[in-house]
């Protein structure tokens, strides 16, 4: 069992279900899983996540429900301890705002990003989809993600978008640009490389896209050079996580035909 699988089990183990069969996590249990020692520091992360929730036009109370639990303080005495019931989306926001230097946080970002995206499918269970269906679904998400990333990058001062995206590809693909990837895949001139990826490769790129947008916003990046460097580092960091967990490097994943991705 690799480290990512162990982390998935960790987050699943602390998941709870309410009387209506809705999943939730307790903030204090999540705090421990993310290797935070102090509640006050973790509350700062929660507060920043609430702000992100509100800015995304979501109701805070729908995702961060404050609760009080009675806990033992010794000698049979108890006191009320403040906690939160968190939705999966709230957990996703928390790991985006948590300390990225913590390994548990980096792995938590992967877990909640993937799981949150899967939940957007509503009635269709992601695990039951065929590879072609997964590709179609992931490709639609990358299209939406790139559109949103471009808007954020523009606000961060980016003017040369081809160069900006190449920085991300270079980080994730060990120095390869979009043209390099296209040539390796044997694609025609200007053919979209994302249309010729399998679901696993698309998922890695989707994670690159969402994490880069989050970093541009979180760090209030305002220059093109800083935005490019941020995109490169996010791509590189994701590559390192894949390598560390024994995954297949994106350039070694099989090329898939474009035809199944046409709408």
Is 186 within a domain?
yes
Residues 45 and 94 sit within 8 Å (Cβ to Cβ): yes
Q: 25 has which bridge partners?
A: 15, 86
- Structural domains of the chain, count: 2
Is 97 within a domain?
no
d(CA 34, CA 178): 35
Alpha-carbon torsion (78, 82, 87, 89), positive or negative: negative
Q: What is the pTM of this model?
A: 0.56
pLDDT digits (tens, 9 = 90+) for 179-233: 999 999 999 887 899 999 999 999 999 999 999 998 998 899 999 999 999 999 9
Place of tokens 């992360």: 45
**pLDDT above 90: percentage of residues in the chain:** 52
**Confidence check: pLDDT of 236 > 80:** yes
Mark whether 57 and 131 lie in a shared domain: no
Per-residue model confidence (pLDDT) at position 259: 47
Mark whether 141 and 253 lie in a shared domain: yes
d(CA 217, CA 88): 21
Out of 38, 71, 90, a domain closes at: 90
* Mutual angle of helices 103-119 and 88-97, in 10-degree steps: 140
Mark whether 142 and 246 lie in a shared domain: yes
User: Which residue segment(s) compose the domain that 150 sits in?
Assistant: 120-261
DSSP state of 75: T
Question: 10 Å Cβ neighbour count for 188?
Answer: 7
Mark whether 181 and 62 lie in a shared domain: no
d(CA 98, CA 30): 11
Is 156 within a domain?
yes
d(CA 214, CA 93): 10
Mark whether 195 and 256 lie in a shared domain: yes
Mark whether 30 and 152 lie in a shared domain: no
């Amino acid at each position: 069992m690799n480290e990512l699988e162990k982390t998935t089990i960790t987050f699943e183990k602390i998941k709870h279900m309410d009387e209506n069969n809705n999943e939730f996590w307790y903030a204090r249990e999540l705090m421990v899983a993310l290797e935070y020692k102090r509640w006050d520091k973790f509350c700062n992360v929660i507060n920043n996540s609430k702000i992100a929730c509100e800015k995304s036009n979501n109701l805070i109370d729908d995702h961060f429900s404050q609760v009080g639990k009675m806990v033992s303080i010794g000698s049979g005495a108890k006191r009320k301890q403040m906690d939160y019931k968190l939705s999966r989306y709230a957990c996703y926001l928390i790991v985006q705002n948590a300390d990225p230097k913590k390994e548990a946080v980096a792995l938590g970002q992967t877990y909640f990003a993937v799981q949150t995206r899967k939940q957007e499918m509503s009635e269709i269970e992601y695990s039951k989809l065929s590879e072609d269906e997964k590709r179609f679904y992931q490709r639609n998400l990358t299209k939406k993600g790139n559109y949103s990333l471009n808007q954020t990058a523009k606000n961060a001062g980016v003017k040369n978008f081809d160069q900006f995206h190449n920085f991300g590809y270079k980080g994730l693909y060990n120095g390869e640009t979009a043209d390099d990837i296209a040539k390796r895949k044997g694609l025609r001139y200007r053919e979209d490389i994302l249309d010729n990826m399998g679901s696993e490769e698309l998922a890695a790129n989707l994670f690159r896209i969402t994490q880069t947008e989050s970093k541009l916003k979180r760090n209030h990046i305002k220059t093109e050079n800083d935005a490019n460097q941020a995109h490169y580092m996010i791509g590189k960091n994701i590559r390192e996580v894949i390598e560390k967990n024994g995954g297949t490097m994106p350039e070694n994943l099989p090329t898939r035909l474009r035809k199944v991705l046409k709408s």
